[in-house]
Structure 1
Amino acid sequence: MTKKPLGKKHLVASFACGAVLFSGLSAAAADTSVSAMISKATFFAFGERQAAPAPTGSNGAKSPAALNYNGTTYVPVRAIGDMLDVPVYWDAANNAISTGSAKTIVKSADGTVHGSIDLMEEKGGVRVKVSLMDIPAGPHGIHVHQMPIKNNDFATALGHFNPTKHEHGHNNPQGAHVGDFTKNLTADKNGKAVQEFFLEGANLQPDSPMSIAGRSIIVHAGADDQKSDPAGDSGDRIAGGNVPK
């Protein structure tokens, strides 16, 4: 019987698991931090893009950057992902890695986890797959907001992501925001919401003005009327999460 070959996402995920396990054991055994070496012009430390290393030596050669990772080997995971053309995302709030899609962990203000949202860049926009539980039954406005959530305080997300300077809502003649979803998120009587959306014009590229990476997604208490500026009269912010980058 022949075995099915591993795909790129499986290879990156396997490397990530092995790297995290190895680095954790190494740190525990040596009681010290783990350093990783990478020589690419663009590199990451603690999930954040960093500047290239400064020229060193008499000939002005650039030396590889030694990145102190405090027990995690996340930089090599990024490098492997680049080589295999599989995107790797870092969720700083939850110290989590996701490969292939940017997985957003959704929580309420008290820190209770209600599920996740997977975001995948496609031609023309970003595919959004929502899978939540234990939220109030009925329709809920859902939007991408300008800033990441800090300390579970949804007010820190600020307003909707709106780089094109439009008004809110897909039924608004002056709309819509890039962060406006085309329809409401609807939870069933058991509080479960599984739904798919497409954010046209958005992307997950780190340097793009249309990127939603590093921002946040907020779920509101009520329905979005798709026309009232600035938020569709959708009520309080009841849950949300930061989009990895």
Structure 2
Amino acid sequence: MEDPTVKKSLITLGTKTSFFLLIGISFALISCGRVQQADVLSAPSAKQAIATIGPASDSSVTGIATFTQNGDQITLTIEIQGASPGIHAVHIHESGDCSAPDGTSTGGHWNPTGVAHGKWGVGEFHLGDIGNITVGEDGTGSIELTTDLWEIGTGSDVDVVGRGIVVHAGADDFTSQPSGAAGARVGCGAIVLSE
């Protein structure tokens, strides 16, 4: 016959063990939740850079260019207004200096890879060869591009910060060297890191 005191001791021991096991598991779950919450709170927010586009060459072109980083992808959205209806090339130029009335202070197309001018995503192209914006009768137009070829605020050769966004009077033909025969610079904005 079993000793009732042994059975009672085992039950007490089992209850105490279960209690401490339950406390340990609860603590582990709470700690894990805090770590996950801390990871989320300390995760860096998306980097962003902007360029406020102002008129050049006596035009009335204005607009905004926004670069937003999500992981290793950067999405550029450009919206312009005050442009003549039709197709206008838009490029990233070497410098964000828009001080010259005709926008020439921005230098040539941004081309850190040293390749020929072309069409974005087809063969060789400058990292500044964004493309063409179609402007409607109301003078507005937009373009969006997503890439992993640029960086924001790193100081590297492929960092867009410090460069210039230039809107041209005409379309980029994607073949004429070195700039696509896009014509005068009618809009200009310096790309700056957004706080």
TM-score above 0.5: yes
Select the residue among 167, 175, 178 that pairs with 2:127.
178
Specify which of 138, 144, 168 is matched with residue 220 of structure 1.
168
Can you list the C-alpha shifts for 1:177-219, whole angstroms capped at 9, x where unaligned? 01111x3111101101122123451111332111111110100
> Any conservation in 1 of the 2:81–2:139 contact (CA below 8 Å)?
yes
Mean Cα deviation higher: 116-125 or 143-152: 116-125
Work out the CA distance in 2 between the residues paired with 1:240 and 1:171.
Answer: 20
- Normalising by the residue count of structure 1, what TM-score does the alignment of the two structures yield? 0.55
Relative distance call for 1:171 and 1:85 in structure 2 (3 A) is: closer
Q: Which residue identity does 1:178 align to in structure 2?
A: L
Alpha-carbon contact 1:172-1:228 (below 8 Å) kept: no
After superposition, give the CA deviation of every residue in 1:101-158 in whole Å (9 maximum; x if it has no partner): 3221010026967121111124554211112111111111110000112425411100
**Partners in 2 of 1:135 and 1:242 — Cα distance?**
19
1:117 pairs with 65, 68, 79, which one?
A: 65
Q: Which residue of 2 aligns with 1:201?
A: 149
- Pairing 1:95-244 to 2, within 5 Å after superposition: 101-109=48-56, 114-153=62-101, 154-170=103-119, 175-181=124-130, 183-244=131-192
**Do the aligned partners of 1:108 and 1:152 also contact (CA within 8 Å) in 2?**
no
Higher Cα radius of gyration: 2
Q: Structure 2: any 5+ residue segments left out of the alignment?
A: 1-41
- Considering fraction of residues, name the structure with more helix: 2
Q: Residue 145 of structure 2 aligns to which amino acid in structure 1?
A: F
Residue 160 of structure 1 deviates from its aligned partner by 0.6
**Paired residues, number:** 150
Q: Which amino acid aligns with 1:180?
A: D
The SS at the match of 1:156 is helix
The share of aligned pairs that are identical, in percent, is 27
Structure 1 residue 86 corresponds to structure 2 residue 33: no
Highest RCO, 1 vs 2 (Cα 8 Å, sep ≥ 6) = 2
Contact 1:114–1:133, Cα closer than 8 Å, also in 2: yes
Deviation of 1:228 (Å): 1.4
Counterpart contact for 1:172–1:227, Cα < 8 Å? no
**Structure 1 stretch displaced more, 183-192 or 122-131:** 122-131
* Residue pair 2:59, 2:187 contacting (<8 A) in 1 also: no
Q: Where in structure 1 are there 5+ consecutive unaligned residues?
A: 1-82, 88-99
Distance 1:168 1:136 in 2: 25
